[in-house]
A and B are shown apart, each in its own frame.
Chain A
Amino acid sequence: MRPGAEAVRIKGWFGAHRWLVLRRISQLTVLALFLSGPWFGVWIAKGNLVSSLTLGVLPLTDPYLFVQSLAAGFMPAATALIGAAIVVAFYVLFGGRLYCAWVCPVNAVTDAAAWLRRRLGLKSGRVPDANTRYWVLAGSLLAAAATSSLVWEAVNPVTIVQRSLIFGLGGSLAVVFAIFAYDLLVASRGWCGHLCPMGAFYGLLGQKSLLRITADQRGACDDCMDCFTVCPEPQVIRPALKKAGQDSPLILDRDCTNCGRCIDVCGRNVFHFTHRFDQRSDS
């Protein structure tokens, strides 16, 4: 049976896809804010997700790029510093990987690959260790320091895709396709879940964030495994749901993207969004 079938039966289609729909709306809105300028001449957000200026006043800068610049030996000017500080403050408070689930356009690609993998019943492949992303993260900073330039940005598929979408540059389709093919044919959830240094960086940022998912109704769980199947980082669920190594019902792992798919897909309404100090639990 397809994951979420029970949830659809109980909660209806929208009830079982609510967070997913909201997430796609959020991702598309962010993109639309950048595209309204070049497409229709209505300038809301200028630049791209790496650094932007919204409505001519709000600067935002990707802290990962900022840190790479520092590693390369350059102290960016005040605008970038303020922009990075705003972004850091937001994600420290609300969960770093919110970026992955709610903003990053690559997420839609990897979600699609994961969906197709499930539909085709593909089990094969070789998945790198989930910690690889931290090595790539560290490596990208070391490489920047060693060469005094942002070398990772020559190949970073996330920024390539974003820039290409927003600036209408060619060449991104190949990158998108490569990530899709990798996730579909080689490694399940390979890019976002194991390699992407941006996801790793945002994960580290949001370790102590307030916004959390809780398995507060875990007593109702009937082990259907749907949440594990749809979760992009399934290893984060077990400690909360099965009291493995922790008593708290909160999903505290930094890799949780706060996508809310587990909430959607659970017919038993086990999961909810909450804050990190909410320890309520039915068991």
Chain B
Amino acid sequence: MQTDPTAKLQGKPGASPTSVARRKFLNSIAAAAGTGCLLTLGALVAGRPAAANPAQALRPPGALAEEDFLAACVRCGLCVRDCPYDTLKLAPFGGAVANGTPYFTARQVACEMCDDIPCVKACPTGALTPKLNDIHEAKMGLAVLSDHETCLNFLGLRCDVCYRVCPVIDQAITLENVHNQRSDRHAMLLPTVHSDHCTGCGKCEKACVLPEPAIKVMPIALAKGKLPAHYRKGWEEKAKHGGSLIGDQVEMPVRGMEGKAYGDSRVDGQAGGLNSGWKP
């Protein structure tokens, strides 16, 4: 307990019996243990919220899954230093991202998807896994066209900026041709993201011309839905199997539709779509 040197030197009167000395020793150990545990508990509490990053804070390419990353990244900033585009930042103390870890905000500076991935090369620990040697395999996040109501292409205009800046153009993002029902004579070219090719570099979000981007890169866990494990897609199974798995269907006649192919709801052979106007 004491750091006053004179007390140490002279010794305290009456402190000689071993029982007193032992009690003092045990007391001080207990106090030390208590304080130590309190401090670490405080760290645990303070460190806890950092486990979930805000959605707009993306990890560098090759980053291990967040839980593993927080065990692996020693927060040296070597990845930050070697990023030639100043994409990466180290999280400051007291921020929402785990103190000292690297992240980037796509809307500010996106990842340029360097061919040689210098950030991954720089990482001494493997928190950015060296297994990533093709930047196109990176999964920093997933772009989501999150707002159909402001996306200019959805409004029927030709903006296409997100599509054209994408480094994985026509694979990660495509323009899907859809009939414009409003004008009934135009096409809408809808930006559509494909998760198996999107690297989450954020260039689309960065480039979106709107004051608030209609397309945003989100952490995969936030962006992706998930099918139940037992679901099978019939068309995939069919292709795998080389033909329908359930064989030919028995066709039951529908009254008034005799002589027509199954599912054909057209009246007198005219096109009608789903609501064909057919009445019995």
Within 8 A of A (CB), among B1-59: 1-6, 8-9, 28-29, 31-33, 35-37, 39-44, 46-48, 50-51
Nearest opposing residue in chain B for A144, CB measure = B71
Tell whether A129 pairs with B43 under 8 Å between CB atoms, given A135-B36, A163-B77: no
Nearest opposing residue in chain B for A152, CB measure = B43
Would B28 and A148 count as touching, CB distance under 8 A?
no
Tell whether A154 pairs with B43 under 8 Å between CB atoms, given A47-B76, A132-B35, A136-B36: yes
Nearest opposing residue in chain B for A37, CB measure = B81
Would A189 and B3 count as touching, CB distance under 8 A?
yes
- Choose from B5, B36, B51, B94 the contact partner of A229 (Cβ within 8 Å): B5
CB distance from B87 to the nearest CB of A (A): 15
CB distance from B74 to the nearest CB of A (A): 5
Asked if A62 lies at the interface with its beta carbon under 8 angstroms from chain B, I say: yes
Would A48 and B77 count as touching, CB distance under 8 A?
yes
Asked if A110 lies at the interface with its beta carbon under 8 angstroms from chain B, I say: no
Asked if A177 lies at the interface with its beta carbon under 8 angstroms from chain B, I say: no
Nearest opposing residue in chain B for A241, CB measure = B9
- Counted as pairs of residues, one from A and one from B, with CB atoms less than 8 Å apart, the total is 204
Chain B residues, CB < 8 A from A131:
28-29, 32
Would A127 and B3 count as touching, CB distance under 8 A?
yes
CB distance from B18 to the nearest CB of A (A): 15
Chain A residues, CB < 8 A from B272:
none
Would B1 and A50 count as touching, CB distance under 8 A?
no
How far is it, in angstroms, between the C-alpha of A81 and the C-alpha of B81 when the chains are bound? 20
Asked if B67 lies at the interface with its beta carbon under 8 angstroms from chain A, I say: yes
CB distance from A38 to the nearest CB of B (A): 8
- Choose from A79, A154, A169, A172 the contact partner of B124 (Cβ within 8 Å): A79
Report B82-96 CB contacts with A as 1/0, cut-off 8 Å.
100000001011110
Within 8 A of B (CB), among A53-108: 53, 59, 61-62, 65-66, 69, 72-74, 76-77, 79-80, 83
How far is it, in angstroms, between the C-alpha of A22 and the C-alpha of B3 when the chains are bound? 26
Asked if A185 lies at the interface with its beta carbon under 8 angstroms from chain B, I say: no
Would B74 and A69 count as touching, CB distance under 8 A?
yes
Tell whether A129 pairs with B28 under 8 Å between CB atoms, given A152-B47, A234-B3: yes
Would A238 and B76 count as touching, CB distance under 8 A?
no
Tell whether A234 pairs with B5 under 8 Å between CB atoms, given A77-B130, A150-B70, A175-B93: yes
Chain A residues, CB < 8 A from B42:
155
Q: Which A residues fall within an 8 A CB radius of B?
A: 37, 46-48, 50-53, 59, 61-62, 65-66, 69, 72-74, 76-77, 79-80, 83, 123, 127-136, 138-140, 142-144, 146-156, 159-160, 163-164, 166-167, 169-172, 174-175, 188-189, 193, 195, 225, 228-229, 234-235, 237-238, 242
**7 A-B residue pairings within 8 Å (CB atoms):** A154-B46, A163-B75, A169-B90, A170-B92, A225-B5, A228-B5, A228-B6
Q: Which B residues fall within an 8 A CB radius of A?
A: 1-6, 8-9, 28-29, 31-33, 35-37, 39-44, 46-48, 50-51, 67-68, 70-78, 80-82, 90, 92-95, 98-100, 122-126, 130
What would 7 more interface pairs be, CB under 8 Å, given A47-B76, A76-B126, A171-B94?
A: A46-B81, A47-B78, A59-B124, A61-B124, A131-B28, A171-B93, A228-B8
